[in-house]
Amino acid sequence: MAIATRTGQTGAVRPRRQGRFSLTRQEKAAIVFILPLMIPMTIYWIIPSLASLYYSLTNYSVVMPTAWVGLGNFRRMMDDGLFWRSIKNTVYFTVGNIPLTMLFGLILALSVNAGIHARNLFRVVFYLPLVTSTIALSMVWLWLFDPNFGLLNAFLKVLGIHPQMWLQSTSQAIPSIVIMSVWGGVGGAMIIYLAGLQGIPESLYEAARVDGANRWQLIRNITLPMLKPVTLYVLVTSIIGSFQIFGPIYAMTDGGPAFATTTIVHQIYVNGFRYFNMGYAAAQSWVLFLLLLGLSLFNLRLMRSGMEM
């Protein structure tokens, strides 16, 4: 509708174009405006992404002459016990992390939204870990998890529980990282759930109250069903994020003990930048990308439909 009124106005406003290859004033401006974005984006994102597809089909290793190996890297992955181990660990982490983060995020959002005082203060506190770097949080939790002098074992002792090895035990290492990740991530889930809660029309609640629903019924029959789209969004973005976990692994365990915490990205890093098997690492990163592609496309659709309301 804005366009209709605009084209009716003066020539200064209406884009004019003489020939097929001549540019309008706005087109000239647009080229200048997008180049500062498109140049770095092309050099440092688009070309490298395509190049990594090429590298994934070679044995590129910086130090040795490069040879074409076709699907050799992918075949090698099938027999790479560590790669399978890393997928298993990544899935284990994801399956532990996401339900807990979402559940606690929802509980916090409902609590903050329950008409309490100081809601802003609580919101700030819960979001604090999300503005802090993963590496800094990892250092703090490494200290909390310390088997000898850590605060967590001291706390367990008060409860009469034996000290645990946490990150230094093959069976507890991933659960420990899950604990830290849930602690660090609930604030994000909470904020998104809060936005979702504010999007629920008050009229729905009023109608239900007229019918005599109590507050538990309101939550069960209105709030939770209305939060479905938000839940889907949180779920999809969290899976994408969890599958790429690397920072805490690198900073706290470096994949150990005995490869109990090596994840897909950790394998890519180790192969690419420690052993300089960059062709193989590129192939692994494409496998990760393909694993997440479906989810990313779905997420993009969610975002676009959310934006074009």
Partner 1 sequence: MADAANVTVPSRSARTATSHRVVAIGNRYVLPSLAYAVLVVAALTMLIPFLWMVFTSFKPQQQIFKMPPVIWTTQYTIAHYMRAITRGNFHIYFKNSMIVTVSVTLLNVFVTALAGYAFARLQWRGKGIVFTIVLSVMMLPGLIALIPTFLIVKATPFAGGNNWLGQGGTGWLDSYPGLIVPMLGSAFDVFLFRQFFLALPTELEDAGRIDGCSEFAIFWRIIIPLSKAVLAVVALFTFQAAWNDFLWALVITQSDSMRTIQLGLTLFKSQHTIDWGPLMAGTTLATIPTVVLFLAFQRYFVQGIALTGIKG
Question: Which residue in 257, 241, 87 sits closest to 172, CA to CA?
Answer: 257
Shortest distance, position 260 Cβ to partner 1, whole Å: 19
Q: Rounded distance, CA 249 to CA 269, Å?
A: 11
Residues 91-110 that bind partner 1 (CB under 8 A): 104, 107-108, 110
Residues 208-227 that bind partner 1 (CB under 8 A): 209-210, 212, 214-216, 226
Phi first, then psi, for residue 68 (nearest 5°) are: -75, 125
- Judged by CB under 8 A, which of 68, 95, 199, 207 binds partner 1? 199
- Judged by CB under 8 A, which of 87, 167, 191, 239 binds partner 1? 191
Candidates 66-74, 76-84, 87-95, 119-127: pick the segment binding partner 1 (CB under 8 A). Answer: 119-127
Residues 233-292 that bind partner 1 (CB under 8 A): 233, 240, 244, 246-247, 250-251, 265, 268-269, 272-273, 278, 281-282, 285-286, 288-289, 292
229 lines the binding site for partner 1 (CB under 8 A): yes
- Judged by CB under 8 A, which of 67, 71, 84, 157 binds partner 1? 157
228 lines the binding site for partner 1 (CB under 8 A): no
68 lines the binding site for partner 1 (CB under 8 A): no
Name the residue nearer to partner 1 (CB basis): 82 or 240.
240
Q: Rounded distance, CA 184 to CA 100, Å?
A: 12
Structure tokens at 140: 């703090």
Residues 9-48 that bind partner 1 (CB under 8 A): 9-10, 12-13, 15, 24-34, 36-38, 40-41, 43-48
Shortest distance, position 16 Cβ to partner 1, whole Å: 11
Residues 74-93 that bind partner 1 (CB under 8 A): none
307 lines the binding site for partner 1 (CB under 8 A): yes
| 3-class SS of residue 58 | strand
Q: Rounded distance, CA 177 to CA 184, Å?
A: 10
173-198 vs 81-112: helix axis angle to the nearest 10? 40
- Judged by CB under 8 A, which of 83, 93, 141, 166 binds partner 1? 141
129 lines the binding site for partner 1 (CB under 8 A): yes
CB-based contacts of 229, cutoff 8 Å, min separation 6: 196, 302
Q: Rounded distance, CA 165 to CA 173, Å?
A: 8
Structure tokens at 66: 């490069």
Q: Rounded distance, CA 88 to CA 270, Å?
A: 17
232 lines the binding site for partner 1 (CB under 8 A): no
User: Which neighbouring-strand residues pair with 76?
Assistant: none
CB 85 within 8 A of CB 262: yes
